[in-house]
Structure 1
Amino acid sequence: MKPDPVSNWSIKGRDVAHHATRMGNLMAGFSGPESPHLQDLSVEVKATQNGRCEDKKRELHSLLAPSEFREQGCRMVNYIADYLESAHKLRVFPTVNPGYLARLIPKEAPEEPEPWSKIMEDVDRVIMPGITHWQHPRFHAYFPSGTSCPSMCADILTNGFGCIGFTWASSPVYTELEIVMMDWLARLLHLPEYFLSGGDGGGVIQGSCSEATLISLYGARNRAISRYQDEHPGATVYEAASKLVGYYSDQAHCSVERAGLISMLRLRRIRTTVSRQLDANDLEASIKEDVSNGYVPFFCVAALGTTGCCAFDSLKEIGPVCEKYDIWLHVDAAYAGSVFICPEFLPMLEGVEYAMSFVFNPHKWLLTNFDCSCVWYKKTEWIVKSFCVNPTYLRYKDEGRMPDLRHIALAHKFERLMLSDQRFEIVHKVTMGLVCFRIKGKNELTKKLYHDIEADGRIHLTPSEFHHPEEVYFIRFAVCHPEAEEAHINYAFQVIQEITDQLIPRP
């Protein structure tokens, strides 16, 4: 048989040298005469650091080779295509018992790579027997799990780019595309104009409706606390929070109750009518009772398509009640939200103009792979205020970014270069792939250096700061590229030196 041309591909035992280095750092302070086995380990680690990792480095480069990705990527696409074409022949629900998988795989992770062909054999032998086939034509449980060839191709694209879009500057197109697509989708669903970007509102993609509900709850909480403190000068946050009460029906998703537990806020479950709808009269009666007892109603969840039976609460009846008592109305349309694309279902959306937030899952009916939950807010300011921390390392000239931590040896190389220039100092011990440095002296010099480096544009760094025992502003240098070399480190140091020369002459 012809050997597998990509035998270095592996999903196991990533980098033994890396693990050895980590263990060496951990053990460095403990090895001594009383622990000779740890001394031996320290020697082994040093040997590994001094050259044994070269084979592993070559394997890693092979793992990342585009030519091998092309070949194995094509195989994977064919595998999935075959699976989708033949899924109807399989048993929908697996026959395995709990714990089946542990007996089929080694107890310890192997340290050497396996051929990709062997890995795919494991997929058939170990993985497939335990899969519930959600794409089977006879799968009728839960709700749909969306997937499609375009969605899978899009995942390949985003995974290939390998970006993390937590701020605009971390990858501008990620933020801007999300904003535009959320506006497209809001219009497609016939949502109110105030949910669109450009004003006070806007949409964002979350991982799940559970997550979106919790975030909305926090936004509503902080809004209510702020208003309570305005009305009761001197009231603490804790006093205000202890007064809050929210509402949901007994048909609402369990994530609503869970959000209350996580936030430690009082949420009141209201029994539904025979139609399984949250009755507006019952809601108002509960509100009045709570107000008379000194509580402050602040949050209400209405469901459009409940998980249990797909019941629809009447927004046009619940909405006015929430508006009357200044309650944040959160609409959970996780499953059924997609139907509002169709004009014939719009009557069930009547009253949505009372909503402060609205969430649904494209990963159910819109053929989008999990996870993708879209949530819109009437006023995003309360969400931003609830979660705004804005540490220095996330800031940029327009706001935001944070680098990664990798490549220990190259980080130490950069550390040595910085220490060779008497103008710089290292402000924190270098243990991984991050070096924190500054210009000696006043913080303003380092701030000026950082801004000049960013304006220069040849390299990209981020700042941070310590607040105690004194204010220390510094610059973070992280080794990020998977194939970074000493030449890249030398170049970055050269750029930093050149720009520093314009601030402080070399000694």
Structure 2
Amino acid sequence: MDPDEFRRAGHAVIDWIADYWATLEQRPVAPADPPGTVAAALPASPPTACEPVEAVLADLDAIVVPGLTHWQHPGFFGYFPANTSGPSLLGDLVSSGLGVQGMLWASSPACTELETVMMDWLAQLLDLPQRFRSSGSGGGVIQDSASSATLVATLAALHRASGGRWRDAGIDRRYRAYTSVHGHSSIEKAVRITGLGSDGVRPIEADPETLALRPAALRAAIEADLAAGEIPAIVVATIGTTSTTAIDPLPEIGAICAEYGIWLHVDAAYAGAAAVCPELRWSHAGLEYADSYCFDPHKWLLTGFDCDAFWVADRGELVEALTVLPEFLRNAASESGAVIDYRDWQVPLGRRFRALKLWFVLRWYGAEGLRAHIRSGVALAARFADRVRADGRFELAAAHPFSLVCFRLHADDDTNAELLARVNGTGRVHLTHTRVAGRYTLRLAVGSPQTAERHVDEAWELLTAAADNLLRP
């Protein structure tokens, strides 16, 4: 494909994406076809001759798109949002076109330096503590996901807790990690990967009202482990838990971690984006205690997957934990100590130029545009919660500080599960579920930039119509 062929095909693909976005609202949010439908429609063997881009786009329309769940659909309210946007896509396109490897400063200086500045820009937008800025001892890096950020934080915490011995002598399985019973599954996965096993995680009970980790229970677990000869290494607190967006009390948790010298990692994967709005920064109170912190611009900040923003207060500890330097990577810039080599801040060696899409997004929307997007999501969720609160057949299952609403019918679990199935079966909206206090609970998460009041109102109308049928005597 020469430049002229690329230009022609590229215009066709951009037009296809623009048409897709323009017609999203008319499409069913999720497919109804059985498993194997897409695979059965594909040829059993790869093509022997080249095919024009028009043929590929035709099959994209005929085979792939009907089998998609449309995460950018204005009626998609499942899980958490996975936003993308025009500026983000264009930034990713430029990144792919450049095809640079950003593993070292020396392997592409602009890739590293733009990322460092973008992470400082984000830190300013969220008003993060100064200790996370690259001008001091800390700094930020883009990971692929919050799961990777948790793994990297766990590795750094083990390095600190062992005085660096774990890296050379093998892992001592007496190290322990602590998180709320509502902490993300990636925390247990990180602990497994580091070699501590599932028993390495201590799930800490949550307050039954707030659903947030109980500091007194955390202290009791730490003291019990110390008495048993175990070694507390890391506490993972959450701003915006996955099920309900509960907010763990960072001031109290942070004070406990400081008292015992335990690494505190704060996972704000979804809700961290809210801190671009000054009125929502209360959720980050106590963050000054954290040794590391992350959130996902690819969830609620209009930046396409993958893009997790991860900061540490002391980058030296992170680099010491992760650095491996073969001869073929040695270079004068790295040995001078004057540059950042992000290969030492993550598990993989290679890294894409992900900072470009952040740069495009931040410049296109600006702080005010991003705040408007967050505020719209919060307002739409509040609008939906008001509908739930006003209908005596329903109840709110948890607080809704951001753009997620957890709710259920005053009915048994099977009835609530059937309610979800019927509403999702319309093809107009897509919700997911969780369990709160052991009970089946529906989740409506607002986040698509295309979602407006009419889409939230339609979701409510579909829910009440289905409830009418289910509860009819």
How does the TM-score come out when normalised to structure 1? 0.64
Matched, 1:283 2:218: yes
Change (3 A) 1:98 1:213: same
Partner of 2:414: none
Structure 2 residue corresponding to 1:273, chosen from 207, 217, 234: 207
Change (3 A) 1:394 1:228: closer
Structure 2 residue corresponding to 1:255, chosen from 174, 186, 196: 186
Partner of 1:243: 174
Partner of 2:321: 386
Which amino acid in 2 is paired with 1:200? S
Matched, 1:359 2:290: no
Runs of 4+ in 1 over 6 A off after TM superposition: 400-403
CA–CA distance in 2 between the matches of 1:77 and 1:188? 31
Matched, 1:144 2:81: yes
Partner of 2:195: 264
Structure 2 residue corresponding to 1:160, chosen from 97, 102, 110: 97
Contact 1:221 1:241 survives alignment (8 Å): no
CA–CA distance in 2 between the matches of 1:71 and 1:285? 65
CA–CA distance in 2 between the matches of 1:236 and 1:345? 43
CA–CA distance in 2 between the matches of 1:114 and 1:213? 43
Q: CA deviation at 1:198?
A: 2.7
Partner of 2:309: 374
Once the two structures are aligned, what percentage of the paired residues are identical? Answer: 43
Q: CA deviation at 1:347?
A: 1.6
Secondary structure in 2 matching 1:81: helix
Structure 2 residue corresponding to 1:94, chosen from 6, 31, 41: 31
Matched, 1:200 2:142: no
Which amino acid in 1 is paired with 2:3? P
Q: CA deviation at 1:321?
A: 0.5
The structure whose Rg is larger is 1
Secondary structure in 2 matching 1:319: helix
CA–CA distance in 2 between the matches of 1:285 and 1:321? 11
Q: CA deviation at 1:227?
A: 7.1
The aligned runs of 1:106-145 (5 Å cut-off) are 106-145=43-82
Contact 1:225 1:237 survives alignment (8 Å): no
CA–CA distance in 2 between the matches of 1:121 and 1:227? 56
CA–CA distance in 1 between the matches of 2:165 and 2:44? 56
Which amino acid in 2 is paired with 1:246? A
The aligned runs of 1:56-67 (5 Å cut-off) are 63=1, 65-67=2-4
Matched, 1:397 2:332: yes
Change (3 A) 1:132 1:331: same
Secondary structure in 1 matching 2:331: coil
Q: CA deviation at 1:339?
A: 0.7
Contact 2:140 2:312 survives alignment (8 Å): yes
Secondary structure in 2 matching 1:187: helix
CA–CA distance in 2 between the matches of 1:72 and 1:227? 52
Contact 2:181 2:206 survives alignment (8 Å): yes
Partner of 2:147: 210
Structure 2 residue corresponding to 1:300, chosen from 232, 235, 243: 235
Which amino acid in 2 is paired with 1:252? G
Q: CA deviation at 1:236?
A: 8.2
Q: Deviations over 1:337-387 (max 9, x none)?
A: 011111111222111000000000001111001000000001112221122
Partner of 2:254: 319
CA–CA distance in 2 between the matches of 1:99 and 1:342? 44
Q: Deviations over 1:298-321 (max 9, x none)?
A: 100000001111110010111100
Which amino acid in 1 is paired with 2:114? L
Contact 2:173 2:195 survives alignment (8 Å): no
CA–CA distance in 2 between the matches of 1:243 and 1:156? 46
Root-mean-square deviation (CA), in Å?
Answer: 1.9
Structure 2 residue corresponding to 1:188, chosen from 103, 110, 125: 125
Which amino acid in 1 is paired with 2:47? P
CA–CA distance in 1 between the matches of 2:51 and 2:21? 26
Q: Deviations over 1:418-453 (max 9, x none)?
A: xxxxxxxxxxxxxxxxxxxxxxxxxxxxxxxxxxxx
Q: CA deviation at 1:137?
A: 1.0
Q: Which runs of 5+ in 1 are unaligned?
A: 1-62, 230-234, 404-507
Which amino acid in 2 is paired with 1:380? R
Which amino acid in 2 is paired with 1:257? E
Q: CA deviation at 1:242?
A: 2.6
Partner of 1:105: 42
CA–CA distance in 1 between the matches of 2:74 and 2:8? 31
Which amino acid in 2 is paired with 1:204? V
Q: Which of 204-213 and 342-351 deviates more?
A: 342-351
How does the TM-score come out when normalised to structure 2? 0.68
